[in-house]
Amino acid sequence: MRISITSLLFSLFTILIFSQNKPAYKLYNVNGSIVSYQKMIKKMSKADVVLFGEHHTNPIVHWLQMEATSDLSANRKLTMGAEMFEADNQLQLNDYLSDKITQKAFDTVARLWKNYPTDYKPLVDFAKKNKLKFIATNIPRSFASKVYKYGFESLDSLTVEENTWIAPLPIKYDANLPGYLKIMEMAEGHGGDNLPKSQAVKDATMAHFILKNMENDKLFIHYNGSYHSDDFDGIYWYLKQGNPSLKIVTVSVVEADNVKKFDKEEKGKADFIIVVPLTMTKTN
């Protein structure tokens, strides 16, 4: 009887401790099953491209990006790239990576995001320390704004040099892709047909610079808002248009009240889905 009471007390203690445990995130696979970080790294290491989606101000995801990049570099040669840097700032980024300019100068000459110091500088400095290429993949924001206002036709007036900062024209576009339909639905018609086109020109440009800078023996790891690659859409779709045989691993992010409970509606969103608490502190 004493043994059974002891076992019961131990079980109750274990349940109490488990219920009080508050994990900062849980990692799930495409089918919604819990998966280990090590398994994610193993699959990523066999890919040609990793599209590491994020919520731009979530610190847990930025930490995981840094950890994954470091761990992947132990097994694969890497090329890094990010939505947060626009293609016309590539020279300035190169100058910082090669120590031709200081961080202060880089801050002045490049259009860095507000949360660059906390969320993206560690990645750039990792590339700098390890002498890795870091590619500015995004379209200049003023060009995307033109598309939002005037459509793809507004890009026809770009100069020869400006055309080197975007995907080749004409931009291939499928208005029926789920991601673009979702944008229209969420916007409730505001922005008209040009709203998803302004998203598509970003996706196409990021895919273009990933493809352009890929090397056979290297894994290209790319950091982007998860909505640019969710549901195997966006950048993923454009990459497959350019090279159908590419092995691509995607990551998405979901915020939830309970990270231990996976929402079935999120199945199929990405190869790996990071579920983080809704109450997680933001970095902006």
Backbone angles phi and psi of 187, in degrees to 5: -80, -10
d(CA 182, CA 23): 31
pLDDT of residue 7: 52
Helix, coil or strand: residue 98: coil
d(CA 75, CA 219): 10
Is the sign of the CA dihedral 18, 19, 22, 25 positive or negative?
positive
Domains, the chain, ordered by start? 25-277 (3.40.50.11550)
Helix, coil or strand: residue 279: coil
- The residue whose two tokens read 């400006």 is 162
Tens digit of each residue's pLDDT (9 = 90 or more) over 236-275: 999 999 999 999 999 999 999 999 999 999 999 999 999 9
Mean pLDDT on 18-30 = 83
Tens digit of each residue's pLDDT (9 = 90 or more) over 198-212: 999 999 999 999 999
* Residue 247 CB burial class (10 angstroms; 0-12, 13-18, ≥19): exposed
What stretch of H or E contains 181? helix 178-187
Q: Report cis status (omega within 30 of 0) of the bond before 170.
A: yes
pLDDT of residue 189: 67
284: closest CA among 117, 63, 57, 120?
A: 57
Give me the residues paired with residue 79 across strands: 220
Q: Is the CB of residue 89 less than 8 Å from the CB of residue 136?
A: yes
Mean pLDDT on 139-154 = 97
d(CA 167, CA 201): 8
How far is CA 246 from each of CA 50, 108, 214, 235, rounded to the nearest angstrom? 11, 37, 11, 13
Is the sign of the CA dihedral 62, 226, 134, 131 positive or negative?
positive
Q: Can you read off the two tokens belonging to residue 214?
A: 């890929």
Mean pLDDT on 152-180 = 96
Mean pLDDT on 66-82 = 97
